[in-house]
Chains A and B, each alone.
Chain A
């Protein structure tokens, strides 16, 4: 590279600064959703993980544990597949969403966010963009899970409304876990630490009604497993997929989600403006 001569500089003038307004929140969201989706799909390994992981989980639980867990409940492997399906989708979503913590942390710690915050647009749209792409990625993984379940013989008695209701509940939980991971990514000192914190959260679905009935757990675990936020979501989704009424579980689940989202948004509103890489 050599310094442009005076002649070159007149042919490629520095653009004059005009009274530009900067991007609106909507434009920012559009730009950063597109950016984050590009990240997801260009990082082939992360896409592969997002799809392979739920598949592996489903195959392991159906073919290795399925028969013996179902036997205890007087069912067979097919029954267990139907039983475990919502939990597989939610567990996979947890893994997929943990990626959000890593990308948010990367943006926060590499100086990228600092530059954006000196620019005339709402920088919080970066976080929103990561959330949008996490939703897309994980709904895709959920679709793969459901498709493979069908291939393995899963059939549903659910009406279209019930099916969409179950998908909606799963989507809501994906949103919850995404914003939780986004906040973790914001407070973590590094991307590695961010994914480390997330690891703990990924065990949450196992201590719920997702993989085995709560009644089969030791009594000291039943209190937590029966009342933790994932249990009503899983129970309601499972009922809906079976074509049954979700009872009161669905709104308990939704309340939990709303609570989590409200707290995460509040934390983000407090922490984000103060977080400057230095």
Chain B
């Protein structure tokens, strides 16, 4: 694979194991700037992959480039361009919001006055200005997350890693954070996020990667992934709204019309919904049964 100037992340043949436990196996991936979601169940290796890309841990084999730099051999160079927000809000509870921001800014090599200037702007943008003088330990979960992300932006990274950014947040905070993440991307920052929530990947990401068994088993837009699983289905509901039957379709209008006409004639009592598969169904299909895993990998060009 040759290095392309505008690639965000290029991985080929990446492997990583902890002792005998193989976590990533011959993983390959090329991403262009934008928002990318890495989707996978617990223990799939999402955090391991993020930790490798963000310079935290070494990899065993393969070729890895993040913003054109090797996270192992060009660690310091890369560290100036990225930031990591882990699964737990990594803010210092004993320090105030502002002190947290200043600390991070100065550690990135900013002068105190420059760090202060940027901290003011970021705290305002994340609606934390009024809480800037309070200790982070007094913040709500959502506020801590916001502070965490604000702190990770202080040096103006080109790429931020968000490892399960909304895990443990309530619905409102989650929605608010999604808005922020979208705004960030709109302003030109690339985002690599991991999530267990299909909805999150669906709402946020331009490209979704499904990690399973240490490899990427599928990659594409939400729509593309849904198409891989199959065309639309017809669901038949009884009077109480329960699904009584799900019928596959070929996906074309003529076939669908014929099927619907037949249902109308034969089963006038049911109501009908035509729907695309959800990302949940895609996920189940792609990663579902361990026995079918190998087959899946072969049948889906990853």
Which chain A residues have a beta carbon within 8 Å of chain B's beta carbons? 1-4, 6, 8-9, 12-23, 27-28, 31, 35, 38-39, 42-43, 110-112, 114-121, 276-278
Contact = CB atoms under 8 A, between A and B. Distances in A.
Contacts of A43: 94
A12 B125 contact: yes
A23 B81 contact: no
Given A4-B183, A31-B103, A119-B107, A22 B156 contact: no
Q: Determine which residue in A12, A23, A111, A120 has the highest number of CB atoms from chain B within 10 A of its CB, and name it.
A: A120
B98 to A, nearest CB: 13
Given A14-B189, A22-B108, A112-B90, A1 B180 contact: yes
Contact of A118 (B48, B84, B103): B84
B245 interface: no
B80 A278 contact: no
A121 B155 CA distance: 13
Given A23-B108, A276-B56, A35 B156 contact: no
B114 to A, nearest CB: 9
Contacts of B152: 115
What DSSP secondary structure best describes chain A's contact surface? loop
Contacts of B135: 42
26 contacts: A1-B126, A1-B127, A1-B179, A3-B179, A8-B125, A12-B125, A14-B153, A14-B156, A14-B189, A17-B155, A18-B156, A20-B80, A23-B106, A27-B106, A28-B107, A38-B94, A42-B94, A43-B94, A110-B90, A112-B92, A114-B90, A117-B55, A117-B56, A118-B55, A118-B82, A118-B83
Contacts of A278: 47-48, 51
Q: Determine which residue in B103, B127, B146, B153 has the highest number of CB atoms from chain A within 10 A of its CB, and name it.
A: B103
Contact of B183 (A3, A31, A39, A121): A3
Nearest to B148: A115
B90 A111 contact: yes
A55 to B, nearest CB: 25
Contacts of A117: 55-56
B86 interface: yes
Contacts, number: 131
Interface of B: 47-48, 51, 54-57, 76, 79-92, 94-95, 99, 103-104, 106-110, 118, 121-122, 124-127, 135, 146, 152-158, 161, 176-177, 179-180, 182-184, 186-189
Contacts of A23: 106-109
A3 B109 contact: no
Contacts of A13: 187
Contacts of B87: 111
A74 B154 CA distance: 68
Nearest to A18: B156
Contacts of B127: 1
A4 B153 CA distance: 15
A42 B99 CA distance: 13
Q: Determine which residue in A6, A116, A118 has the highest number of CB atoms from chain B within 10 A of its CB, and name it.
A: A118
B76 A120 contact: yes
Contacts of B110: 20
Contacts of A42: 94, 135
Contacts of A115: 83-86, 90, 152
